[in-house]
Structure 1
């Protein structure tokens, strides 16, 4: 998810990491600043079955993607909670890629079975050796669940926030499409010369 005003830079350079030579100098952040800072000091600890591999890189070194929709972070962004600036849903755009596209781009990646910053340490992180098992390792039903509060499943929120972490810039040709809130934001994207066939209006993906 990104601010619509970041899209022109993405169309030119792809989704760039903050340390990239092509990083957007005018990037508009819509996330939780404290969480972003925390990720910069949290090391990657890969779990492949019973094998643990510690990496001298942090979660903040990666571009994060969610597997699903209507995430708790989006709820915070749209409502302006926890010190995060409130954003109009028309200004929030989903950039859509796929695991296959990241593999084709020969980009280093990891994926998690829950929120990467899980304080209780429940979340497991996997590398490309486990990619063929992703369908069983990720709870996709939770990722696409519109809610995350369930008194009978207290771990639902963590699983819903499973992440796909990409190390380097994601080239523009790896972005398969864009999801937006309404025709207002769709028209903004069309004016940026994005093909209409790549834009999908999904108000139910927002709050």
Structure 2
């Protein structure tokens, strides 16, 4: 198991990752959705796959407050996500520098909800037409056992394992700095750099096992 989950309760941990170069802006301005940052230059270093981001700009959200998936800040329910693996393997054409400077922003469902913006959950990758959306985890079939496994590749018995590992917590528009609980890095050297950037805004921890 790579982390202890609360299976959809308020203590359930969630994970967003970004490049270290973006942290100073996030500490000052908050964590904005892709629809916002693409228009105002807040994102200094992109690590996401642009083809996937384009899909998120077109995928409609079928429950209130609606909009498209890129109007939401995404979090996963576990580290070592398929997207992180793609970065590790050099599968993101516009970012080829690996995971060493990628930093996790960690929160919980309860803390995100307390920060004030609407929070939605999905049972798999939100871009997929078959993804289900809800405000309550109890209304979804999220595979919580899978979230605790370090390996999530598809199998003959479970052909949609990868997409279900990418179930999402989606926060509408903005996560204020107080919606983030802690930062996590791969190495102590990066943690030291992060600490100098964010000061006392958040505690910083090293969890090499959360990376590939």
With the shorter chain as reference, the TM-score category is 0.7 to 0.9
Partner residue of 1:64 out of 66, 74, 80: 74
TM norm structure 1? 0.84
Structure 1 residues 31 and 91: alpha-carbon distance in aligned structure 2, compared to 1, 3 A threshold: same
Answering whether residue 167 of structure 2 is matched by residue 162 of structure 1, we say yes
2:150 is aligned to 146
Spell out, residue by residue over 1:13-40, the C-alpha distance to the aligned partner (whole angstroms, 9 max, x if none). 1112345499553521100001101110
Counterparts of residues 49-198 of structure 1 (less than 5 Å) = 57-81=67-91, 83-118=93-128, 121-127=129-135, 130-131=136-137, 133=138, 137-149=141-153, 150-195=155-200, 198=203
SS of the equivalent of 2:47 reads coil
In 1: Cα distance, 2:121 partner to 2:132 partner: 8
Bigger CA radius of gyration: 1
1:50 is aligned to none
SS of the equivalent of 2:174 reads coil
Q: Which runs of 5+ in 1 are unaligned?
A: 47-52
Answering whether residue 34 of structure 2 is matched by residue 30 of structure 1, we say no
Q: Which runs of 5+ in 2 are unaligned?
A: 1-16
SS of the equivalent of 2:104 reads strand
TM norm structure 2? 0.82
Residues 30 and 87, structure 1, Cα contact 8 Å, conserved in 2: no
In 2: Cα distance, 1:117 partner to 1:197 partner: 31
Structure 1 residues 104 and 62: alpha-carbon distance in aligned structure 2, compared to 1, 3 A threshold: same
Equivalent pairs counted in the alignment come to: 194
Residues 16 and 23, structure 1, Cα contact 8 Å, conserved in 2: no
Residues 145 and 160, structure 1, Cα contact 8 Å, conserved in 2: no
In 1: Cα distance, 2:55 partner to 2:18 partner: 19
Structure 1 residues 158 and 34: alpha-carbon distance in aligned structure 2, compared to 1, 3 A threshold: same
Moved over 6 A (4+): none
SS of the equivalent of 1:57 reads coil
